[in-house]
């Protein structure tokens, strides 16, 4: 049976029978955990109060290929891509929410954590303005717009590895990408300018809260905010001058193709101009930058100048590319809706700005809806990150709801609003927007949370390399491999999962969504292969059944991805709901969040959480010699880290001289250190780096032979439990840089 599409208010009624729509959620806790997610995404040197115990500094050499320090910012998603456009959109949304509804952050005690996160990313943005002292920024400014990634990278791109962020600098190639007069562009510089101006404004109002925190005692808040504002101005000038022409109806196709090609290009650090990922039209981003400067400049004349420019730009390029229309989503590629919210703050009676936002928000409330109440503008395309799209639109609706009651009567054909009053529109926007947030938190047909580590039975295994806690790379996902593991080792608190499809079904993995013959000739369609059913069920016409169990697959990047922009609108929504006293509960006490992870300290070679250890087995033993095969492992995950020139020790008991040899003396060295009645053999792997990246990099194996006339090896401290089976042996301790990393020395308690 085919299921008809349900939209608008009818969908809300439909979902009441299948979802706990009236359930109240702890928005404060969700907000707290969402900020934790952003801490987990930090690149470069971690911020002083970072709470993520399994994260460490990463990619500290970013930018060295162009002679600059670009280590910083946030990683984009479950990979280790530094993409300034998604970073800028996210930072803008977070700062905007705190400017408009500061009580949502203050009342929950999260403002200082927000300021620290925004300081981390904006400090990076400052360094991305490579030559801020130029006399003519419109012509001569050079702007770094990211490092590494997928497109534009020759060799090892960001998706060629499955390991923690701390290893991305050695496992992938991370060229810097630049926009300049050689490779002009306006989108990313303008988006960065928006984030920097919004952050400057927020620091002017609340920055002193950060100045008193650990690591920020000598921070000059005024200097930081002023520098952000100054460089945001440079970026905006550059963006306006280098954005290129706007698209228009009737434009010559060849000219349009040239414009679109240039909008995707950047200058790579090797001097080549290449196409890169995460680019957009510059038009909505430039309008956004103008609108922020119109609000944020200290000088009144400058504010008025930017407001006038924005007003002209709105009626020109912005409308030329139809960004005022309802069907262009608010997201990382379009900061236009936020720009219009800003301009409305400056012109509260502007009919054209109210008209755009009312049209957009009212159409949002009429999106096609799943039976469970999740709105989707694009019924198929928005299955990729469904919760991101719904919450991004909801954010505009919630923040405009604060302004709609003062809207003037809008002239012309307003068929889309019918006879609704401004007060009725406000109630509608809040109700439908809140519904999208609640769906993510658990008011959905599964009754489960799509926010990692929050609520009822959350889906805690996202597509995220760091949270997964890998030590064997992609081997973890190959059927039949002993390392295969389907669950994440760490909990990525607060991350918003991409979400279900338009049937409310969360079924990850292409093998669980086969494209099969329908039984009508050569016709094919998508089917569901649920774990509880023997036969696949056609997607079209499917009616949700709670007996059909969901599947979360770590390797699914469509339904199971997490990303900066996924959480951006969602987090802004949580702040708005907290500011309005909705929901129930409060944040978790700082002393209890995040909870300490319990580690498996067992001797099981596959499941142990021990980070540095030796496994070994006996090869040969006699009255005068003992030979073992020993493997030194680096499975570090708190955080992942490199062990340079690591070593291990075999402690022996002997009253006669001891000699030791290794199987590969050119690559492995050993030395004997004697004490009264014994000593130890130290085996060193010089000029070697061992790290938990791949099966080839996470260990080194050697044969060690220890000889001594008449010696009984069974009395050796390190010989305990050595036999013909490979075992994890804590009595073979591991060292690097003069420190013991794991294992037990004689006289130590069991660890």
DSSP for 629-655? Answer: EEEEEE---SS---EES-EEEEEEE-S
Q: For 525, list phi and psi in degrees, rounded to 5.
A: -160, 170
pLDDT tens per residue across span 34-82: 999 999 999 999 999 999 999 999 999 999 999 999 999 999 999 999 9
Q: Which two tokens stand for residue 114?
A: 């927000």
Residue 12: the pLDDT is 35
Q: Is 127 in contact with 72 (CB distance < 8 Å)? A: yes
**Which of 617, 662, 620, 668 shows the shortest CA–CA distance to 645?**
668
Helix, strand, coil tally for the chain in percent (to 5): 35, 15, 50
Torsion sign across C-alpha atoms 467, 473, 474, 477:
negative
- What angle in degrees, to the nearest 10, is found between the helix axes of 84-100 and 564-579? 0
Residue 638 CB-half CA count within 13 A: 14
Nearest to 157 by CA among 230, 76, 94: 76
Domains delineated in the chain:
42-75+81-347 (1.50.10.10), 612-742 (2.60.40.710)
pLDDT-derived band of residue 15, with 50, 70 and 90 as boundaries?
very low
CA dihedral 466, 93, 20, 357 (to 10 degrees): -150
Q: In which residue are the tokens 């911020």 written? A: 47
The yes-or-no verdict on residue 93 having pLDDT over 90 is yes
% of residues, the chain, pLDDT over 70: 97
pLDDT at 748 (0 to 100): 85
What is the mean predicted confidence (pLDDT) over 475-480?
95
Q: What is the DSSP letter of 692?
A: T
Sheet holding 699-707, edge to edge: 659-662, 699-707, 625-634, 612-621, 727-728
Per-residue pLDDT tens for 492-508? 999 999 999 999 999 99
- The yes-or-no verdict on residue 243 having pLDDT over 60 is yes
Per residue in 220-237, pLDDT (tens digit) is 999 999 999 999 999 999
Is the separation of the CB atoms in 123 and 226 below 8 Å? no
- Tell whether the model's pLDDT for residue 520 goes beyond 70: yes
Q: Which residues pair with 735 in a beta bridge?
A: 647, 740
Spatial separation of the C-alpha atoms in residues 510 and 434, rounded to whole Å: 31
From the list 295, 372, 324, the residue with the least C-alpha distance to 14 is 372
Contacts made by residues 68-71, CB under 8 angstroms, sequence distance 24+: 68/127, 68/130, 68/144, 68/176, 69/127, 70/124, 70/127, 70/128, 70/144, 70/147, 70/176, 71/43, 71/44, 71/45, 71/124
pLDDT at 6 over 60: no
Torsion, CA 711, CA 713, CA 714, CA 718, rounded to 10: 140
What average pLDDT does the structure give for the chain? 94
698, HSE (Cβ side, Cα atoms, 13 Å)? 23
Tens digit of each residue's pLDDT (9 = 90 or more) over 396-416: 999 999 999 999 999 999 998
Q: Measuring CA to CA, which residue among 487, 510, 515 is closest to residue 557?
A: 510
- For residue 17, is pLDDT > 80? no
Q: What's 458's DSSP letter?
A: -
**CB contact set of 534 (below 8 Å; sequence gap of 6+):** none
Q: What percent of the chain has pLDDT over 90?
A: 92
Q: Helix, strand or coil for residue 152?
A: coil
Band (pLDDT 50/70/90 cuts) for residue 750 is low
Spacing of C-alpha 365 from chain mean position = 28
Report the length, in residues, of the chain. Answer: 751
| Average of per-residue pLDDT across 132-156 | 96
The secondary element (H helix, E strand) that includes residue 531 is: none
* 124-136 pLDDT tens trace: 999 999 999 999 9
- pLDDT single digits (tens) 577-617: 999 999 899 999 999 999 999 999 999 999 999 999 999 99
Spatial contact of 504 and 544, defined as CB atoms under 8 Å apart: yes
Backbone angles phi, psi at 294, to 5 degrees: -65, -25
pLDDT at 677: 81
Comparing CA positions, the residue from 467, 368, 437, 301 lying closest to residue 4 is 368
Residues 200, 226: contact at Cβ < 8 Å? yes
| pLDDT on residue 23 | 81
pLDDT at 518 over 70: yes
Cα(393)–Cα(160) distance, rounded to whole angstroms? 33
pLDDT value, residue 620: 79
If phi > 0 it is left, if psi is from -120 to 50 it is alpha, else beta; for residue 613 that is beta
User: Where does the pLDDT of residue 209 fall: very low under 50, low under 70, confident under 90, or very high at 90 and above?
Assistant: very high
What's the CA gap between 95 and 193, in Å, rounded? Answer: 13
Listed as own residue / partner, the contacts of 321-324 with beta carbons closer than 8 Å and 24 or more positions apart are: 321/246, 321/247, 321/248, 321/281, 321/283, 321/284, 323/281, 323/283, 323/284, 323/287, 324/356
Q: Which residues contact 249 (CB under 8 A, 6 or more apart)?
A: none
**DSSP assignment string, 253-274:** HHHHHHHHHHTTEEEETTS-EE
Return the bridge partners of 675, or none.
678
Confidence of residue 31 (pLDDT cuts 50, 70, 90): very high
Write the burial class of residue 435 (CB in 10 Å: 0-12 exposed, 13-18 middle, 19+ buried).
buried
Q: What is the DSSP letter of 551?
A: B
Query: Please, which residues have CB within 8 angstroms of residue 455's CB and are 6 or more apart in sequence?
Result: 25, 30, 441, 442, 448, 449
Beta-carbon contacts of 252 under 8 Å, excluding residues fewer than 6 positions away, are none
Query: If we measure between CA atoms, which residue out of 475, 449, 477 comes closest to residue 463?
Result: 477
**Nearest-angstrom CA–CA distance, 104 and 576:** 6
* pLDDT score at 749: 63
**pLDDT (tens digit per residue) in 340-352:** 999 999 999 999 9
Which stretch of DSSP H or E encloses residue 377? none
Residue 293's SS3 state is helix
pLDDT at residue number 735 = 98
Token couple for 276: 């890169």
**pLDDT the model gives residue 384:** 94
Contacts of 490 (CB under 8 A, 6+ apart): 54, 466, 467, 468, 469, 597, 637
CB atoms within 10 A of CB 107: 17
Q: By C-alpha distance, which of 52, 55, 117, 34 is closest to 596?
A: 52
């Amino acid at each position: 049976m085919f299921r008809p599409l349900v939209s608008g208010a009818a969908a809300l009624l439909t979902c009441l029978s299948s979802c706990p729509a009236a359930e109240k959620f702890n928005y404060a806790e969700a907000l707290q955990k969402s900020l934790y997610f952003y801490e987990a995404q930090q690149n470069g040197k971690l911020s002083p109060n970072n709470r993520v115990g399994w994260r460490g500094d990463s990619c500290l050499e970013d930018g060295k290929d162009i002679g600059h320090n670009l280590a910083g910012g946030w990683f984009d998603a479950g990979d280790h891509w530094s993409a300034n456009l998604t970073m800028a959109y996210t930072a803008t949304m977070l700062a905007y929410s705190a400017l408009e509804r500061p009580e949502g952050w203050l009342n929950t005690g999260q403002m200082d954590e927000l300021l620290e996160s925004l300081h981390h990313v904006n400090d990076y943005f400052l360094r991305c303005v490579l030559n801020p002292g130029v006399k003519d920024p419109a012509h001569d400014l050079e702007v770094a717009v990211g490092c590494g990634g997928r497109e534009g990278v020759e060799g090892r791109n960001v998706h060629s590895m499955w390991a923690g962020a701390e290893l991305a600098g050695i496992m992938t190639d991370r060229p810097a990408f630049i926009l300049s007069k050689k490779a002009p562009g306006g989108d990313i510089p303008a988006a960065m300018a928006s984030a920097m101006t919004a952050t400057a404004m927020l620091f002017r109002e609340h920055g002193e809260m950060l100045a008193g925190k650990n690591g920020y005692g000598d921070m000059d808040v005024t200097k930081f905010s002023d520098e952000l504002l100054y460089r945001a101005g440079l970026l905006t000038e550059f963006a306006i001058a280098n954005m290129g022409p706007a698209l228009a109806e009737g434009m010559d196709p060849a000219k349009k193709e040239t414009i679109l090609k240039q909008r995707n290009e950047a200058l790579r650090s090797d001097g080549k101009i290449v196409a890169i990922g995460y680019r957009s039209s510059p038009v909505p981003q430039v309008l956004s930058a103008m609108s922020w400067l119109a609000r944020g400049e200290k000088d009144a004349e400058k504010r008025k100048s930017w407001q006038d420019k924005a007003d002209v730009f709105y009626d020109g390029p912005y409308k030329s590319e139809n960004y005022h229309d309802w069907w262009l989503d608010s997201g990382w590629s379009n900061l236009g809706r936020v720009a219009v919210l800003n301009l409305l703050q400056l012109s509260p009676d502007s009919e054209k700005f109210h008209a755009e936002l009312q049209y957009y928000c009212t159409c949002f409330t009429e999106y096609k809806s799943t039976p469970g109440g999740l709105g989707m503008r694009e019924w198929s395309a928005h299955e990729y990150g469904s919760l991101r799209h719904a919450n991004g639109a909801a954010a505009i609706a919630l923040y405009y709801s604060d302004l709609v009651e003062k809207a003037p009567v809008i002239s012309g054909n307003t068929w889309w609003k019918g006879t609704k009053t401004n007060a009725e529109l406000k109630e509608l926007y809040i109700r439908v927007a809140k519904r999208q947030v609640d769906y993510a938190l658990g008011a959905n047909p599964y009754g489960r949370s799509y926010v990692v580590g929050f609520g009822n039975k959350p889906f805690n295994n996202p597509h995220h390399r760091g949270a997964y806690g890998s030590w064997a790379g992609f081997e973890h996902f190959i059927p039949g491999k002993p390392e295969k593991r389907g669950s994440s080792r760490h909990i990525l608190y607060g991350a918003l999962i991409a979400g279900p499809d338009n049937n409310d079904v969360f079924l990850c993995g292409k093998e669980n969504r086969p494209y099969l013959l329908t039984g009508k000739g050569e016709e094919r369609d998508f089917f569901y292969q649920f774990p509880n059913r023997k036969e696949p069920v056609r997607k079209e016409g499917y009616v949700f059944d709670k007996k059909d169990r969901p599947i979360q697959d770590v390797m699914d990047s469509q339904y199971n991805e997490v990303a900066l922009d996924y959480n951006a609108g969602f987090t802004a929504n949580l702040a708005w709901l907290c500011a309005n006293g909705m929901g129930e509960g409060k944040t978790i006490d700082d002393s209890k969040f995040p909870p300490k992870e319990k580690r498996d300290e067992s001797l099981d070679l596959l499941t142990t959480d021990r980070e540095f250890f030796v496994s070994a087995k006996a090869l040969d033993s006699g009255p005068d010699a003992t030979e073992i095969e020993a493997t030194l492992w680096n499975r570090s995950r708190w955080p992942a880290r490199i062990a340079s020139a690591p070593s291990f020790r075999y402690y022996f008991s002997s009253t006669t001289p001891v000699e030791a040899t290794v199987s590969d003396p050119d690559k492995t060295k050993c030395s004997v250190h004697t004490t009264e009645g014994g000593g130890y053999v130290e085996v060193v792997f010089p000029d070697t780096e061992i790290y938990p990246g791949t099966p080839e990099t996470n260990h080194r194996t050697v044969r060690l032979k220890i000889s001594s006339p008449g010696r009984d090896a069974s009395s050796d401290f390190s010989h305990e439990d050595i036999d013909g089976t490979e075992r994890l042996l804590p009595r073979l301790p591991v060292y690097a840089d003069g420190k013991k990393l794991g294992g037990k020395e004689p006289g130590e308690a069991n660890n």
